[in-house]
Amino acid sequence: MTSTPILAEALAAGTVVLDGGMSNQLESAGHDLSDELWSARLLAERPEAVTEAHLAYFRAGADVAITASYQATFEGFARRGIGRDRAARLMASSVESAREAARRAGARRPLWVAASVGPYGAMLADGSEYRGRYGLTVDELERFHRPRLEVLAAAGPDVLALETVPDADEAAALLRAVRGLGVPAWLTYSVAGDRTRAGQPLQEAFALAADADEVIAVGVNCCAPEDVENAAATAARVTGKPVVAYPNSGETWDATARAWSGRATFTADQVRSWQTAGARLVGGCCRVGPEAITGIARTLRAG
């Protein structure tokens, strides 16, 4: 039996398909994600549901599963009365759930697991993950992120997904926090047009990762599909690294109402232009489900 190639090798050979939104897949299966822990709550209460969600995306054609640890933090679990030891076990279980789904998928292609690391604002659960500028220093943000990064890295994912980062200062903290963990990472910003959500020019934001040896890909996620092509081209030009792109459906999240509005604009045909701009990891984020991932996989593999 041959071993799965490391993800960096796969990116050098071609384009890899990511999964879609974990939250919408769980909600479509009837699970309530309305509390502050979001999908991370199911790691404690319904772990099988998490595995089934990953399995749906592998069967749809995804090569990479992004774990349900986006909102999993020691601080967030503590608010639910979950101590540090159990919180660490739950974070590690997010990687194990994705591995189990890969095993059940029985695919004849390599499958990988990306351990999701959401921004500080995700723990706050107040919409600040779309704004950044938390009033914390880079040192304080590094101290927040490092302990759970250590737990997730020890669980053995193929890559750490530093995702939905709204602020270049937080990106700097995350890049410091992943040093020495022995697991590669990708870094993706949540953007609006040609700037981070906190308002920094993307060229400056991406440049932070250009010389980071731990980072194998840089790009965007949880943004409008229309923002991907320009951001991908900028990331490729500034860093020289493969680009990762997984936007939302195009609908808009209202953090106050905790609901989506507008219409979906995401189509599988768009991924061709993203690929031309440098994208080598392509998938979807919020409101992008298995059907769309199947479309992406067929589009890319047809080429």
- What whole-number percentage of the chain has pLDDT above 70? 97
Higher pLDDT pick, 81 / 256: 81
Q: CA dist 183 to 60, 99, 251, Å?
A: 27, 16, 33
Q: Is residue 89 a contact partner of residue 116, using CB atoms and an 8 Å limit?
A: no
Predicted confidence at residue 2, as pLDDT, reads: 41
Three-state SS annotation for 200-226: CEHHHHHHCCCCCCCEEEEEEECCCHH
Predicted confidence at residue 127, as pLDDT, reads: 84
> Residue 258: pLDDT above 70?
no
Q: Is residue 61 a contact partner of residue 293, using CB atoms and an 8 Å limit?
A: yes
Cα gap 22→37, rounded to integer Å: 13
pLDDT tens readout for residues 67-83: 999 999 999 999 989 99
- Which of 271-303 are b and which e, b meaning 16 or more Cβ less than 10 Å from the residue's Cβ? beebbebbbbbbbbbbbbbbebbbbbbebbeee
pLDDT tens readout for residues 80-118: 899 999 999 999 999 999 999 999 999 899 999 999 999
> Residue 255: pLDDT above 70?
no
pLDDT tens readout for residues 13-40: 999 999 999 988 888 878 776 777 777 8
> What are 260's two structure tokens?
């989506």
Task: Give the mean pLDDT of the chain.
Answer: 93
CA angle, corner 227, sides to 224 and 230, nearest 5?
165
Predicted confidence at residue 275, as pLDDT, reads: 96
Predicted confidence at residue 3, as pLDDT, reads: 56
pLDDT tens readout for residues 166-188: 999 999 999 999 999 999 999 99
pTM of the model: 0.95
Predicted confidence at residue 264, as pLDDT, reads: 86
Predicted confidence at residue 33, as pLDDT, reads: 67
Q: How confident is the model at residue 144 (pLDDT cuts 50, 70, 90)?
A: very high
The predicted model gives 36-45 an average pLDDT of 82
Predicted confidence at residue 1, as pLDDT, reads: 30
> Residue 227: pLDDT above 80?
yes
Predicted confidence at residue 28, as pLDDT, reads: 81
